[in-house]
A = this chain, B = another copy of it.
Amino acid sequence: MKPHWPSVAIVGVGLIGGSVGQALLARRLAGRVIGIGRDPQSLAEATSRGAVSETTTDLAAVAGADFVLVATAVGAIGGLLERIDTAVRPGTPITDAGSTKARIVAGWERHRRRRRARFVGGHPLAGSHRRGPAAADGELFAGRVAVVTPAPATPAADVEAVGGFWSALGSTVYVMPPRQHDRLLAAASHAPHALAAALAAATPAAARRFTAGGWRDTTRVAAGDPGLWADILLDNAAEVARALDRVGRITARLRAALERGDRRAVETLLVRAKEARDAVGS
Contact = CB atoms under 8 A, between A and B. Distances in A.
A82 interface: no
B269 A197 contact: yes
Contact of A258 (B189, B192, B240, B267): B240
What is the copy number of this chain in the assembly?
2
B210 A145 contact: yes
Residue among A197, A213, A221 having the largest count of chain B Cβ atoms under 10 Å: A197
A266 B261 CA distance: 36
Interface in A191-234: 191-224, 226-227, 229-230, 233-234
A222 B277 contact: yes
Interface stretch (A27-35, A110-118, A246-254): A246-254
A213 B128 contact: yes
A280 interface: yes
A74 interface: no
Interface in A8-65: none
Contacts of A224: 274
A234 B266 contact: yes
